[in-house]
A and B are shown apart, each in its own frame.
Chain A
Amino acid sequence: MVFILAAAAVIGAGIIRSSYVTEVGVAREQPVPFSHKRHVSGLGLDCRYCHTSVEESSFAGLPPTHTCMTCHSQIWVDSPMLAPVRESYRTNRSLEWIRVNDIADFAYFDHSIHVKKGIGCVTCHGQVDDMPLMWRAHSLYMEWCLECHRHPERYVRPREEVFNMHWQPPAGDQLALGRQLVKAYNIRSLTSCSTCHR
């Protein structure tokens, strides 16, 4: 009886961490099949060109239709894939994107402080410049957040490299650099509940 319960618990824990539940690697269907690979890797756009408030606010920001139209009023103007964008521009109705990197409503995440303290975009969002469609790279579960909050030296990088898609720690030694940066950036790695739950 005990073995059955134990087995059920282990299987349950596995299921919760599987991509069926966490949606890691699952590309959701969007109104427009926007390709980060094309725009970031191909064209070299910085993250902040579209996600404008990532250094100032809790919310990184999603580009308004006008941002898309800065280029697409001149490039690919007849592409059927971009029809919803042109429609949005014409009718003044927003595009409705499906949220991929999402956490529960009772947890509050702030982008600006993480960017300030030297956490790179790819650390949490994965290799976005290789994604032809957007998917979630990590589970974004609390246990995953705590992994970094408890050991920030494993993940922190210099501030200048936060938006660098292909940064590697010099000489491969993340921990040595990480410990230095934790001191330099005064990273206190808060683990109080009210840091995120309010």
Chain B
Amino acid sequence: MKRDTPKRASLDLAALRARLASTRGQQYWRSLEELAETEELQELLQREFPRQAAVLNAVSRRRFLHLLGASLALAGLNACTSKPTEKIVPYVRAPEEIIPGKPLFFATAVVRNGMALGVLVESHMGRPIKVEGNPQHPASLGATDVFAQASVLTLYDPDRSQVVTHLGQISTWNTFLSAIQTRLALQRITKGAGLRILTETVTSPTLAAQLHALLEGFPAAKWHQYDAVGRDHARAGAVLAFGEHVDARYDFRRAEVILSLDADFLSALPGSVRYAREFAARRRVQPDQATMNRLYVVESSPSLTGSVADHRLPLRPSEIEALAWMVAHKVGIVPGEFPGGQSLAQHARWIEAVVRDLQQHSGSSLVLVGDGQLPVVHAIGHALNTALGNVGSTVVYTAPVEARPVDHAASLRDLVVDMEAGRVEILVVLGGNPAYTAPADLEFVEHLSKVKLRIHWGLYYDETAALCHWHLPATHPFESWGDARTYDGTATILQPLIAPLYDGRSAHEVLAALLGQPGRSSYDIVRDYWKTWYQGGDFESFWQTALHDGVVAGTTFVPRSVSLRPDWARRQERNQGADVKHQPRQPTPPPLTLIFRPDPTVWDGSFANNGWLQELPKPLTQLTWDNAALLSPATAERLGLANEEVIELRVRERTVRAPVWILPGHAENAVTVSLGYGRTRAGRVGNGVGFNAYSLRLAETPWYVEGLEIRKTGQTYRLACTQNHHSLEGRPLVLSATLTEYQEHPDFVHEFIHVPAPQMTLYPPYTYEGYAWGMVIDINACIGCGVCVVACQAENNIPIVGKDQILVGREMHWLRVDRYYQGDLDNPTTYHQPIPCMHCENAPCEVVCPVAATTHSDEGLNDMVYNRCVGTRYCANNCPYKVRRFNFLQYADLQTPSVKLLYNPDVTVRTRGVMEKCTYCVQRINAARIQAKLEERKIGDGEVMTACQQACPTQAIVFGDLNDPMSRVSQGKADPRHYPLLAELNTRPRTTYLARVRNPNPAIAEGETE
């Protein structure tokens, strides 16, 4: 941790509030510092590249001139040598389907917490390099999430474990097999009484079948499941409501009014990619169309779902529970008194308006409850949906998708109890990292040492592997056969894209070894399972179709009818964590709640070594390479905390130190910490990054705990936040209106945007006889998830630069998603705006390049020619949108062998000293144009999709030919909400935006939460 001695001055929040209150019209501000106009920020804004760190050793001026002269003299000579020798290495026997130079796409799935997301993986000459969504897969519909995009980097991660190890020494698979056979033979005598398997959520039918076979062979053995980011409360809530395990499946196409109680359904649920698509589709507006859905969100920590809400109410988690009771009471499904009603009296009118709205849309409303809420709140949600007639319309219930639904916390606790008592002789950890993620008070690590034989299977030699006798390297999902189910039960057969890079084995092979069938390959195991499942005649064509499509037809779960238990409303354990015996030290300040959330980019820690995800700015905080203790401005003011100040968080005698980050919109008197950081054995990227929030997470209170205490340490810690970089100085960049305003004045954007008339110019105008590419980004659809940023990084070989470089503003992402706030400091409206290169018609960058390295193509693109660039950086200086990125150092990794496999061969890998920027994925445009010419036709609309467009779950980005009046992009440009950025500069950008339309409830005044 770097420590800066000067402390940042606290912001005077009262003054800020006063300033905000006195503003009129649309006042947008990027961050608190900007609003405060601190001296520091003013200085930062004056300079494009703020802290020009001296990366070269100081050289005297005389010496510098000597070097300059010598370089000039020698400059021409490198052309006199012959070029380096390149080799062509053909196959010995060419595979039938590979045409060198043309990629192949294979359908498989990316699995996270057991749930699959169907993807198509692009493979060049047998190397998978890019992940796209599978349009035929119900959970994907062609889009992906950030974890799916980044999974290909994990495949080539040089820190993946490569060999079987035994007690830290390199060993072999066969040695493991012989060692395990003797132990298992002993276990058979006791029917497996000492055998335990620990997995994460299992949806794979084949894996479940193998586990059941194992349990049949060893009847006394036990199978435990534990997910760090688990859905225990949702499971328990369903049991509470319906008496059985059921999964809820939502249909946002039919939902007109949605109430989300701490449910981040746009990014944190298994079906989120699809839910985002359906939700955004119901928000598309035309001037003559009256309907648009309405979203109410009640949450503690700002989330993506909260950022697109029409009405948002920040409350602490226990208050959300109280609100749920209040809503239930007003709808009439629970009688009389309920806990916590008094604290919400101030929100009574808001709640009433919401309830009325829900009731008026019976059958087309939806109530969702987040996984962080207690089971009884989930039961309330189910009861509300039943009472409102939504079951069968916006929500259906199906059999659980996971193979064996159990309470994960209880399962892990049982395992720990057994370990403590010495009953566990063999523990096989088949996925997950319990030494890092297990609740702190279970003391998993301590009791693990009592197990006689510990076997770990995983991608990395992580914290758990270091404590086990045997570590078996796992194959990445792109290296092995398997299967998995998605949120609606649809199964996908996972097929490998490449032979295992190292000595990895799949989970199927490990279980086969335990089952006494060590030679069986994953291919045979998976095929044999599906042979037993498929009842038709022609298995081969079923198999080929399933592999081709990426879905197994006929596996989607059908809705089942459920009925609410009459006694569902019995009171559960309330106020979890508010231990009455534990009195706070100072009784006068209100109690603080500590909230745990999976990190938006690193999730539960399993992606900690993924550089792309570490460097991806988190959607709302825009932090990279760190987690922080997030709290609201008012709470910070009350506690006297400033950004980057290190505090000590204390829960029940456990402490951890964390830097503070003030996040407008956070609930009062609560602190959010994200999981997944502070790892010690993640790899070279993830080690020592951030602080470990798991050390405060207790078994009884996995999602929020009361009784948090904060103590200042007097230290500060630099946090690499990208939100202040490339600031655009408060110009009207995101425009929005309410639905009524839009219907009255569909072209309301013209009040704010004035496009100058075409002016006299010395330069001849460009004519586009062929294609003229353009892009429209719909702010109304963008939810800020950031998958476009990672997709662009994967497609275009964009390097990561590390925290130190981010601190000086040198992030390399070609596409950034800006986040703007508007309105009240404590509960602002949030806007997301993706900013790629504008490809301006009158590009300010083109005219200033001294070597003509950036030119205008005859299809409208602003080209960037890397080999011509000499690095003056005048173009970046001149760009008003600040979308150009310069390779100040050799960021691209040209050394690590496995990372070199990852690069897209169709895009140049840039070295130090050249400028780069979004190219509208010109490699894809060129490939499509050549293919169309070979087939003597024109490129169809939608045939060329930029990487960002293809990855976006809500289809917010549209790219296409402006010369085609029927293309989607031309229609977007004709939309009355359409506007360019910084139009007054006469840059005439080809990337333009559609303004946002919000749908507030007329019964609730603007910004009112009372």
List the interface of chain A (C-beta within 8 A of B): 12, 15-16, 20-21, 23, 53, 56-59, 61-66, 88-89, 92-99, 102, 104-108, 110, 112-113, 116-117, 186, 188, 190-195, 197-198
B934 at interface, CB cutoff 8 A: yes
> Are A12 and B76 in touch, CB under 8 angstroms?
yes
A88 CA to B86 CA, complexed, in Å: 20
Interface stretch among B96-104, B401-409, B780-788? B96-104
Of the candidates A62, A98, A188, A194, the one having the most CB atoms from chain B within 10 angstroms of its own CB is A194
B865 engages A197 (CB within 8 Å)? yes
Pick the contact of B92 from A16, A89, A107 — CB < 8 Å?
A89
Residues of A within 8 A of B100 (CB): 53, 57, 59, 61
Give which listed residue, A20, A98, A192, contacts B857 with CB less than 8 A: A192
User: Are A197 and B79 touching (Cβ within 8 A)?
Assistant: no
Q: Is the CB of B857 within 8 A of A88?
A: no
Q: B101 to A59, Cβ gap below 8 A?
A: yes
With the chains together, A88 CA to B857 CA distance in Å? 46
CB distance from B984 to the nearest CB of A (A): 29
Interface size class of B (residues with CB under 8 A): 35 or more
Q: Give Cα distance in the complex from A94 to B85, angstroms.
A: 17
Additional 8 contacts, C-beta under 8 A, given A56-B102, A194-B926: A16-B80, A21-B79, A53-B101, A62-B90, A64-B91, A95-B90, A108-B926, A110-B926
CB closest chain-A residue, reference B867:
A106
Residues of chain B lying within 8 A (CB to CB) of residue A21:
79-82
| CB of A12, distance to nearest CB on chain B (Å) | 5
B94 beta carbon closer than 8 Å to chain A: yes
Smallest Cβ distance from B122 to chain A, in angstroms?
A: 15
A116 vs B930: C-alpha distance when bound (angstroms) = 10
Return chain A residues, CB-CB under 8 Å to B86: 98-99, 102
Contacts of B859 on A, CB cut-off 8 Å? 192
A-B residue pairs, 8 tightest by C-beta: A192-B857, A57-B101, A59-B101, A64-B91, A194-B863, A62-B90, A58-B101, A99-B86
Query: How far, in Å, is A167 (CB) from chain B's closest CB?
Result: 22
A-B contact pairs, 12 of them (CB 8 A): A12-B76, A21-B80, A21-B82, A23-B83, A56-B102, A58-B101, A94-B91, A97-B89, A102-B83, A186-B933, A193-B865, A197-B867
- Shortest distance in angstroms between A138's beta carbon and chain B's nearest beta carbon? 15
Q: Which of B80, B87, B90, B101 has the most CB of A within 10 A?
A: B90
**Distance to closest chain A CB from B944 (angstroms):** 13
B323-357 with Cβ < 8 A to chain A: none
Q: Mark B109-130, 1 if CB is under 8 A from A, else 0.
A: 0000000000000000000000
Indicate with 1 or 0, residue by residue over B856-880, a CB within 8 angstroms of chain A CB atoms.
1111010101110000000000000
B908 close to A (CB within 8 Å): yes
Cβ-defined contact, A198 with B922, below 8 A: yes
Q: Is B656 an interface residue (CB 8 A)?
A: no
CA distance A112 to B933 in the complex (A): 10
- Name the distance in Å between A61's Cβ and chain B's nearest Cβ: 6
Q: A102-B83, A198-B907 are in contact. Are A94 and B933 (CB under 8 A)?
A: no
Query: Which of B94, B919, B930 is close to A64, meaning CB atoms less than 8 Å apart?
Result: B94
**B88 adjacent to A99 (CB under 8 Å):** yes
Q: Which chain A residue lies CB-closest to B91?
A: A64
Q: Enumerate chain B residues within 8 angstroms of A61, measured Cβ to Cβ.
A: 90, 99-100
* B855 on the A face (CB < 8 A): yes
Provide the bound-state CA to CA distance between A198 and B90, in Å.
25
Task: State whether the Cβ of B61 lies closer than 8 Å to any Cβ in chain A.
Answer: no
Q: Which residue of A lies closest to B921 (CB)?
A: A198
Question: Is B923's beta carbon under 8 Å from chain A?
Answer: yes
Contact A193:B91 (CB < 8 A) given known A61-B100, A106-B866, A198-B923: no
**The one of B88, B923, B930 that contacts A112, using a Cβ cutoff of 8 Å:** B930
* Residues on A with beta carbons closer than 8 Å to the beta carbon of B101: 53, 57-59
Task: State A193–B90 Cα separation when bound (angstroms).
Answer: 30
Contact B919 A198, beta carbon cutoff 8 Å? yes
A198 touches B79 (CB 8 A): no
Q: How far is the CA of A112 from the CA of B867 in the complex (A)?
A: 25
Question: Are B863 and A193 in contact (CB-based, < 8 A)?
Answer: yes
- In the complex, whether B770 has a CB less than 8 A from a CB of chain A is yes
Least CB separation from A9: chain B residue = B76
Measured CB to CB, the closest approach of chain B to A94, in angstroms, equals 5
How many angstroms from the CA of A15 to the CA of B934 in the assembled complex?
39
Alpha-carbon distance between A53 and B408 when the two chains are bound, in angstroms: 54
Q: How far is it, in angstroms, between the C-alpha of A65 and the C-alpha of B93 when the chains are bound? A: 6
> Given A94-B91, A98-B87, are A57 and B102 neighbors across the interface (CB < 8 Å)?
yes
Q: Which of A65, A93, A112, A195 contacts B934 (CB 8 A)?
A: A112
Max chain A Cβ within 10 angstroms of own Cβ: one of B76, B91, B857, B906: B91
Tell whether A98 pairs with B92 under 8 Å between CB atoms, given A16-B79, A197-B863. Answer: no
- The answer to whether B93 touches A192, judged by C-beta atoms less than 8 angstroms apart, is no
Query: A142's closest neighbor in chain B, by CB?
Result: B867
Q: How far is the CB of A103 from chain B (nearest CB, A)?
A: 9
Knowing A65-B90, A66-B94 are in contact, say whether A194-B99 is a contact too (CB < 8 A).
Answer: no
Determine the residue in chain B with the shortest Cβ distance to A92. B92
Contact of B92 with A94 in the complex, beta carbons under 8 Å:
yes
In the bound complex, CA of A63 to CA of B91 (Å) = 8
Interface residues in B479-524 by Cβ distance below 8 A to A read: none
Q: Is there an interface contact between B919 and A110, defined as CB atoms closer than 8 Å? A: no
CA distance A188 to B86 in the complex (A): 32
User: CB-nearest residue of chain B relative to A192?
Assistant: B857
The distance from the CB of A13 to the nearest CB of chain B, in whole angstroms, is 10
In the complex, chain A residues whose CB is within 8 Å of the CB of B926: 108, 110, 194-195, 198
A16-B79, A53-B99 given; A194·B919 CB < 8 A: yes
Beyond A15-B80, A66-B93, whether A110 also contacts B858 by CB under 8 A is no
* Chain A residue with the shortest CB-CB distance to B858: A192
Cβ–Cβ < 8 Å partners of A116 in chain B: 933-934
Within residues 820 to 865 of chain B, which ones have a CB less than 8 A from any CB in chain A?
Answer: 855-859, 861, 863, 865
| Interchain nearest-CB distance for A100 vs B (Å) | 9
* Chain B residues whose C-beta falls within 8 Å of the C-beta of A186 in the assembled complex: 933
Instruction: List the A residue with the shortest CB-CB distance to B910.
Output: A106
Contact between A64 and B934 (Cβ–Cβ < 8 Å)?
no
Q: Determine the chain A residues whose CB is within 8 A of the CB of B857 once the complex forms.
A: 192-195
The smallest beta-carbon distance between A8 and chain B, in angstroms, is 8
Contact B91 A20 (CB under 8 A): no
Which of A23, A188, A197 meets B82, CB within 8 Å?
A23
Q: Which residue of B lies closest to A115 (CB)?
A: B934
**Measured between alpha carbons, how far is A20 from B859 in the docked complex, in Å?**
38
Residues in A whose Cβ lies below 8 Å from that of B79: 12, 15-16, 21
Complex Cα–Cα for A74 and B79 (A): 46
B391 to chain A, nearest CB (A): 52
Nearest CB of A to B268, in Å: 37
CA distance A64 to B88 in the complex (A): 11
Q: How far is the CA of A172 from the CA of B413 in the complex (A)?
A: 90
- Which residues of B lie under 8 Å from residue A15 when comparing CB positions? 79-80
**A65 to B89 Cα, complex, angstroms:** 10
The answer to whether A64 touches B92, judged by C-beta atoms less than 8 angstroms apart, is: yes
Q: In the assembled complex, how far is the CB of residue B834 from the closest CB belonging to chain A, in whole angstroms?
A: 22
Q: Which B residues are CB-close (under 8 A) to A112? A: 930, 934
> Closest CB-CB distance, A192 to chain B, in whole Å?
4
A87 to chain B, nearest CB (A): 11
Which residues on A sit within 8 Å (CB–CB) of B102? 53, 56-58
Contact of A97 among B76, B82, B88, B906 (CB under 8 A): B88
Per-position binary interface string of chain B over residues 909-944, scored 1 when its CB falls under 8 Å from any chain A CB and 0 otherwise? 000000000010011001000100110000000000
B90 contacts A113, C-beta separation under 8 Å: no
0 or 1 for each of B766-787: is its CB under 8 Å from A? (1 = yes): 0000100000000000000000
Return the chain A residue nearest B98 by Cβ.
A53
Contact of B908 among A53, A95, A105 (CB under 8 A): A105
Expressed in whole angstroms, the Cα–Cα distance for A64 and B922 within the complex equals 31
Q: With the chains together, A100 CA to B94 CA distance in Å?
A: 22
Are the C-beta atoms of B92 and A63 separated by less than 8 Å? Answer: no
Known A-B contacts A110-B930, A197-B867, A198-B908; the reply to A190 vs B858 at CB < 8 A is: yes
Q: Which residues of A contact B906 (CB under 8 A)?
A: 108, 198
Q: How far is the CB of B938 from chain A (nearest CB, A)?
A: 11
B924's nearest neighbour on chain A, judged by CB, is A198
